Amino acid sequence: MGRWSIKIDWILGRYIYLFYLGYLIFISFTMYPYNVEIQFNGTIVLSNQLYIYSQYIVSIIVIFLVSTIFENTFKTKPYELFRTTPITKTRIILIRYIQISVSIYLPLIIFLQDAAKQINKNIISYCIQMKLSELETISVSSVPLIVQSIIVINFFFVLTLFLLWIFQIKSIPLVLMLAYCALEFGPMSRIFGNFCVFRGAFNLPDYFHIFSPNTMLLLPLSICLFLILFIGYSRRP
């Protein structure tokens, strides 16, 4: 049984991945993702811009990273070459998917754990400043931040693979997904509300439930798309 070398994917995507790490380090030292506002109208409404940085921008980076690494995987000539090697189709798709996912989500988890601590500090500061002592006990767990962000980003990871499999060139998937991201920045978040893909980036986030309405749709959709892709690629003659 052959083995796909992770060095190949590193060579293909190293510049984008290093940019991704640099981006996470940079925003971890800025205040923009952590600033909070609290409203209390029968229910507590906590708003800030974290998901713009941890979901929206990261998803765009991941789209470019995945399309660059997997660009030639689904083309006919590279596929014919793969057939002459002992590397299984499972390793070409599934194992690489897992390896790249770990490399993407591990630094993101570290960032979001720190983000939760920073947000909680700012909640206390905001309550003191606005004399809202009864709300100082509010705290944000890193678990919803991590789960929601990974599900959204993973959706774009899988969707990029799926569109690459269909079109076999990266330009079309890039155009389609970047166009959708632009729509989310504009009217889409207002039209679909809690069910838009980047729920919480351009409208109010839900930091108090592990699964938000958008993630409950994106998770099964991602699984279905990946299964279709994996089965279809595995049965390719």
Asked if pLDDT for residue 2 goes beyond 60, the answer is no
Best CA proximity match to 63, nearest among 212, 190, 163: 163
The residues, ordered by sequence, that sit 6+ positions from 102 with a Cβ below 8 Å of its Cβ are none
Distances (CA, A) of 29 to 22, 108, 115, 126: 11, 14, 10, 19
What pLDDT, on a 0 to 100 scale, did the predictor assign at position 112? 94
Would you place residue 43 in the very low, low, confident or very high pLDDT band (cuts 50, 70, 90)? low
Retrieve residue 36's tokens: 């909070």
pTM more than 0.85: yes
C-alpha 140/C-alpha 40 separation (Å) is 16
Question: In whole angstroms, how far apart are CA 4 and each of 192, 209, 229?
Answer: 41, 39, 19
Q: What is the pLDDT of residue 223?
A: 96
* pLDDT value at 31 more than 80: no
| pLDDT tens sequence across 158-211 | 999 999 999 988 899 999 999 999 998 888 877 888 888 998 888 888 888 899
100-127: pLDDT as tens digits: 999 999 999 999 999 988 888 888 877 7
Between CA 132 and CA 137 the distance in angstroms is 10
Check whether 215 has a pLDDT greater than 60.
yes
What is the rounded CA–CA span in Å between residue 74 and residue 162? 10
Q: Is the confidence at residue 59, as pLDDT, over 70?
A: yes
Distance of CA 72 to the CA centre of its chain: 22
Given a cut of 70, whether residue 80 has pLDDT beyond it is no
